Amino acid sequence: MAAGQTTGIGSGVRADPVVIRKCATLDEMRACVALQQKVWNFSERDLIPLRIFAIAEKVGGQAIGAFQGDDLIGFALAIPGSRNRHSYLHSQMLAVREDSRNAGLGRRLKLFQREEAISRGFDLMEWTFDPLEIKNAYLNIERLGAIARRYNLDQYGVTSSTLQGGLPTDRLVAEWWLKSDRVGQLLNTGQLPPAKIESNIPVPAEVYTWKAAAETRGRAMAVQNQNRELFINAFKRGLAVIGYERDPHGNGKFLLGRWEEPLSL
């Protein structure tokens, strides 16, 4: 549903109070920087500065905000990239204010990014994500249709964000092939195409608690180290993350199989 559209509920009509659009002013971009700090609790040295938001669209990227009235409640920032002579967008950051989460806003921001990118001729958007973040992985793979077949070791070094829990910043690279059959079927039917799963990599729900406390952080690191090897070995065998499961207890599971669409860099 487009931002600002009305939604019928029973016999009444409710206007969607959230508008998603490009950030237009420096003040709106300053709000993005402030929201970034609240979500990740970064120190000054780790914050993406205002000047990156201000230049993003001017160099072919995106600075997109979700607004409730005059209040910014979410944003997505992307910058252009090129690999093997193929241009794509790298989505560097997506944030949603705490009181606006779990209502689909993150997915709406990503879908707005997709539409805007396609309108300019892009067919690929990439971003990185923490393999220990279960909700985020589910959104990326199952709700958006991204795949992953690259693993970056300690991409940012140790950061000041409490969300990382002092662990190495290992990241999976999400590839979102914007016009692929996989993504098209998901958006049209709500279901990913059927696929043969050859292996899986589990993530226990307790990892969030383990990361948060110094006395249990070693358990989280053990999961990270074990899964790191599993991902690297699976990708060497030509497998890709093509699915993700969550159970009623909050545990996650990456599902790996062959990525068969003829799209690659």
Which one is predicted more confidently, 164 or 215? Answer: 215
At 173, give phi and psi (nearest 5°): -100, 115
Per-residue pLDDT at 260: 76
* pLDDT confidence of residue 42: 82
Q: Say yes or no: 170 and 104 in one domain.
A: no
Is-above-0.75 flag for pTM?
A: yes
Asked if residue 39 lies in contact with residue 47, where contact means CB atoms within 8 angstroms, the answer is no
Q: Are strands 86-96 and 124-129 parallel, antiparallel or unpaired?
A: parallel
pLDDT at 12 > cutoff 60:
no
Whether 10 is in a domain gets the answer: no
Closest CA to 56 of 75, 71, 73, 69: 75
Same domain, 74 and 159: no
pLDDT digits (tens, 9 = 90+) for 83-124: 989 999 999 999 999 999 999 999 999 999 999 999 999 999
Amino acid at 208: Y
Q: What does the DSSP assignment read for 136-178?
A: HHHIIIIIS--EEEEEETTTT-S-S-GGGTT----EEEEEEET
Complete DSSP assignment for 95-128:
EE-GGG-SSSHHHHHHHHHHHHHHHTT--EEEEE
Q: Are 64 and 50 in contact (CB under 8 A)?
A: no
Q: How confident is the model at residue 10 (pLDDT cuts 50, 70, 90)?
A: very low
The pLDDT of residue 74 is 98
Q: What total number of domains does the chain contain?
A: 2
Question: Both tokens of residue 217?
Answer: 């952080």
User: 111 with 181, same domain?
Assistant: no
Is the Cα dihedral 231, 233, 234, 236 positive or negative?
A: positive
Residue 2 has pLDDT above 80, yes or no: no
Domain that holds residue 192: 124-265
When pLDDT is averaged across residues 129-157 and rounded to a whole number, the result is 96
Could you say which DSSP state residue 29 is in?
H
DSSP state of 265: -
pLDDT digits (tens, 9 = 90+) for 220-261: 999 999 999 999 999 999 999 999 999 999 999 999 999 877
Q: Tell me whether residue 5 is in a domain.
A: no
Q: How many CB atoms lie within 10 A of CB 149?
A: 19
CA distance 55 to 33: 14
End position of a domain, from candidates 122, 152, 187: 122
Which conformational region is residue 247 in: left (phi greater than 0), alpha (psi within -120 to 50 degrees), or beta?
Answer: beta
Mean of pLDDT values over 177-192: 96
Residue 40: what pLDDT? 85
Q: What is the pLDDT of residue 197?
A: 97
Residue for token digits 């989460």? 101
* 254 within a domain of the structure (yes/no): yes
